[in-house]
Structure 1
Amino acid sequence: MLRKWRFERTTEPEEVHKAELKQRRADLAGLQQRLKQAGLPVIVLVEGWGAAGKGSVIRSLIRELDPRFFKVISVSMPTEEERRWPFLKRYVQSIPEAGKVLFLDSGWMDETVRERLQGGLSEREYARRLESVRMMERQLAAGGYLLVKLFLHIDRERQRKRLKKLASHKDTAWRAGENDWRQNKNYGRTLDAFQDFMSATDAPWARWKVIDGSHAVRAQLEAADWLYHQICTALDCRPAAEQPKREWPLLPMEPLSQVRLDQALGEKEYRKQLKKCRKELAELHNELYRKKVPVVIVYEGWDAAGKGGNIKRLASALDPRGYEVIPIAAPTHDELARHYLWRFWERLPKTGHIAIFDRSWYGRVMVERLEGFCSEAEWQRAYDEINEFERELTDAGTVVVKFWVQIDKDTQLARFRERQNTPEKQWKITEEDWRNREKWDAYEEAVDEMLARTSTERAPWHILESVDKRYARIKAMRLVIGAIRQTLDR
Structure 2
Amino acid sequence: MRTETLRARLLEAQLDLARRRERAVILLLTGHAVTHKGRLVNELNHWLDNRHTEVHALGPSSEERERPYWWRFWRRLPDRGRIGIFIHGWYGDALFARAERRLPPGAFRDRLAEIRAFEAELAAEGVVVLKLWMDIDRPAQRRHLQALQEDPARAWQLSATDWQRHLQHAAIAALGREMRDATAADHAPWRRLDFRDPAAQLQRVGALLHETLAAPPVAPSGVPEGVPGEVAAAPSIRRAEPRVEASLKKASYAARLAEAQGRLAINAREVARRRIPVVLAFEGLDAAGKGGGIHRVTAALDARQYRIHRIAAPSDEELALPWAWRFWRRLPADGRIAIFDRSWYGRVLVERVEGLAPEAAWRRAYAEIREFERQLLAHGTVLGKLFLAISQEEQLRRFEARAASPHKRHKLTDEDWRNRKRWDDYRQAIDEMFARTQAPGAEWALIACDDKRRARLAVLQEVNRRLEMRLASPH
TM-score surpassing 0.5?
yes
| Segment drifting more, 327-336 vs 102-111 | 102-111
Q: Is the 8 A contact 2:32 2:169 kept in 1?
A: no
Asked whether 1:324 is paired with 2:304, we answer: no
Aligned residue type for 1:240: P
**Match of 1:429?**
412
Name the residue aligned to 2:239. Answer: 258
* Equivalent pair of 1:49/1:180 in contact (CA under 8 Å): no
How many residues are matched?
469
Alignment partner, residue 99 of structure 2? 117
CA distance in structure 2 between the partners assigned to 1:426 and 1:286 by the alignment: 37
Q: Which residue of 1 aligns with 2:205?
A: 223
Deviation at 1:475, TM superposition (A): 1.2
**Counterpart in 2 of 1:407?**
390
Give a deviation string over 1:290-314, Cα, whole Å, max 9, x none: 2222111100111111000100111
Secondary structure at the aligned position of 2:335 is classed as: coil
Q: Does residue 374 of structure 1 match 2:357?
A: yes
Q: Give the % identical residues.
A: 36
SS of match in other structure, 2:287:
coil
Which residue matches 2:49? 66
What is aligned with 2:69? 87
Q: Which runs of 5+ in 2 are unaligned?
A: none
**TM-fit CA distance, 1:165:** 4.1
Superposed displacement of residue 102, structure 1: 0.7
> Which of 420, 425, 448 is the matching residue for 1:442?
425
Q: Which amino acid aligns with 2:369?
A: I
Asked if the contact 1:132/1:392 (under 8 Å) is kept, the reply is no
Q: Superposition pairs for residues 190-339 of structure 1, below 5 Å?
A: 190-233=172-215, 235=216, 237-244=217-224, 247=227, 248-249=229-230, 251-259=232-240, 260-263=242-245, 264-339=247-322
* Matched residue, 1:471: 454
Please name the residue that 2:112 is paired with.
130
Q: Deviations over 1:156-208 (max 9, x none)?
A: 23333333444456664443123212101222223223333222222232121
- 1:390 maps to 373
Please tell me the residue identity of whatever aligns with 1:212: D
Match of 1:11 in 2: none
Cα deviation, residue 249, structure 1: 2.2
From the superposition, tell whether residues 88 and 242 of structure 1 become closer, same or farther in structure 2 (CA, over 3 Å): same
Aligned to 1:20: 2
Secondary structure in structure 2 of the residue aligned to 1:312: helix
**Structure 1 length as normaliser, TM-score?**
0.90
Contact residue 40 and residue 145 of structure 1 kept, 8 A: yes
Q: 1:322 to 1:127 in 2, by over 3 A?
A: farther
Partner amino acid for 2:213?
I
Q: Relative to structure 2, which stretch is displaced further, 361-370 or 26-35?
A: 26-35
Question: 1:459: Cα distance to partner?
Answer: 0.7
TM-score by length of 2: 0.93
Aligned CA-pair RMSD: 2.0
Confirm or deny: 8 A CA contact 1:43 1:103 kept in the other structure.
Answer: yes
- The SS at the match of 1:147 is strand
Q: Provide closer, same or farther for how the CA distance between residues 365 and 216 of structure 1 changes in structure 2, counting only shifts above 3 A.
A: same
1:356, 1:179 → 2: CA distance?
A: 42
